[in-house]
Amino acid sequence: MKISTQLWTKIAIINLLIVASLGVLMRYKIGFDFPYFSQKYILHSHSHFAFSGWVTHAIYILLVHFITHNITQDNTKLYNKLIFINLICSYGMLISFFTTGYSFISIGLSTATIVNNCFFAYFIFKDFKKLTHYHPSIAWFKSALWFNIFSSLGTFYLAYMMASRNFNEHWYLASVYYYLHFQYNGFFTFTCLGLIINKLPKYVPHFKYNKLIFILFFTSSIPSYFLSILWAKIPMWLYIIVVISAIVQLIGWVMLLKDVRKFLKIEHSLPPFSKIIFMFVSLAFTIKLLLQLGSTIPEISKLAFGFRPVVIAYLHLVLLGVISVFLLAYFYTAQILHVTKITIVALSVFLVGVFLNELVLGIQGVASFMYFPVKHINEYLFVVAIIIFIGMLLLVYAQTKHKQHHILHK
């Protein structure tokens, strides 16, 4: 099975289009009268496929791309099989969650993806050992893959509650936030930071990697989980650790941001459009960390987690504004995406859609604090979802219209 990065990337873009289409369907059901399909089932299908079919698939492509360009022995066939298995399970979850929600089939497929994640981590860890020189990104990538496996504990407990019908609201929320935290702030974030650190030496003159940045992010990643469950009345000593962890992450980002700013300012280091996208991601991640720090104030935390629009806005800020935009920017800058005028237009439309999505959700969240209903808010969100969908549709068209050179096997 010899499949190139070119084909896997096209599939990743198509998968993101599917995620966007499910988002449009959910927004339509909320804003208008459409009794068909279960909203809860669509949500489960949307979220699970976004994580496995889009983000995990894209990360696996880039990790394999990294490892096959840094070692002489090529295990591409093995990784192709693991990526293929992840895709089959992802499509299975897409359909099963859409039609039946949490069922024997969907839980089984979710478990299969976790097993596949373990195999992927095992083999790529072995290949990491084959590197003949120290590479600062390896620590980030290893941590990311461990966090991916670690997050599955939350999934297993959720599946147990759903299957046994032994439901506890507090444990349910704690399990959901556990999984989301170690996916968002662990697996996704650490991979993206590792990819950035991999590219910095190429563009930033006299770049010197500071190991303290990794130490700050890693040591704060586990205790920062408790930011999501401050409503659980954690003890004071743990609360102090949580506050410190939020501050430590912000310090680590400021330290890294100095190098990222050099990366963005150097002339001819990046195409102008790439700089715009990465500046967008940097701003979104800075806002994310500031919001995270603000949530350490108990009154703000209760307000934030007490209003669904605020939670949805934050989750979309990270998954769309930071992770998804970063992955697309990385594909574009590395020319894994076929670069045409249509590609630039597509990414521009997608960026506008993501920005408007956060803007409208932010307005809805602030209004909910004041118990002030915003007229036609659901209709606005539906229009924004269509804009994001159009951006992805154009991007799929741009990638399927032209042939690319093979990146993985060149």
- From the CB of residue 104, how many other CB atoms can be counted at a distance below 10 Å? 10
CA 307, CA 246: separation in Å to the nearest integer?
22
Q: What integer pLDDT is reported at residue 163 of this predicted model?
A: 66
- Whether 273 maps to a domain, the answer reads no
CA 66, CA 120: separation in Å to the nearest integer?
14
Q: What integer pLDDT is reported at residue 133 of this predicted model?
A: 79
- Using a pLDDT cut of 90, give the percent of the chain over it: 48
Over residues 61-71, the mean pLDDT reads 85
- Whether 32 maps to a domain, the answer reads no
Greater pLDDT, 3 or 188: 188
Question: Do residues 82 and 214 make contact, with C-beta atoms less than 8 angstroms apart?
Answer: no
- Using a pLDDT cut of 70, give the percent of the chain over it: 89
Question: Do residues 363 and 381 make contact, with C-beta atoms less than 8 angstroms apart?
Answer: no
- Whether 331 maps to a domain, the answer reads yes
Question: Do residues 53 and 91 make contact, with C-beta atoms less than 8 angstroms apart?
Answer: yes
CA 217, CA 196: separation in Å to the nearest integer?
15
Q: Which of 162-166, 169-173, 327-331 has the lowest mean pLDDT?
A: 162-166
CA 66, CA 131: separation in Å to the nearest integer?
11
Report the b/e string of 153-182 with b at 16+ CB within 10 A: ebbebbbebbeeeeeeeeeeebbebbbbbb
Question: Do residues 150 and 186 make contact, with C-beta atoms less than 8 angstroms apart?
Answer: yes
Q: What integer pLDDT is reported at residue 161 of this predicted model?
A: 72
Residue 41 has pLDDT above 80, yes or no: yes
- Whether 66 maps to a domain, the answer reads no
Residue 202 has pLDDT above 80, yes or no: no
The model's pLDDT over 182-193, given as tens digits with 9 standing for 90+, comes to: 999 999 999 999
Residue 42 has pLDDT above 90, yes or no: yes
- Whether 399 maps to a domain, the answer reads yes
Indicate the average pLDDT of the chain.
Answer: 86
Over residues 361-383, the mean pLDDT reads 81
Q: Which range of residues forms the domain containing residue 407?
A: 307-410
- Whether 387 maps to a domain, the answer reads yes
Q: How many domains does the chain have?
A: 1
pTM of the model: 0.90
Q: What integer pLDDT is reported at residue 409 of this predicted model?
A: 35
Q: What integer pLDDT is reported at residue 101 of this predicted model?
A: 85
- Whether 27 maps to a domain, the answer reads no
CA 364, CA 308: separation in Å to the nearest integer?
10
- Whether 386 maps to a domain, the answer reads yes
The model's pLDDT over 302-358, given as tens digits with 9 standing for 90+, comes to: 666 666 777 888 889 999 999 999 999 999 988 888 888 999 999 999 999 999 999
Half-sphere exposure of residue 328: CA atoms within 13 angstroms, side-chain side: 32
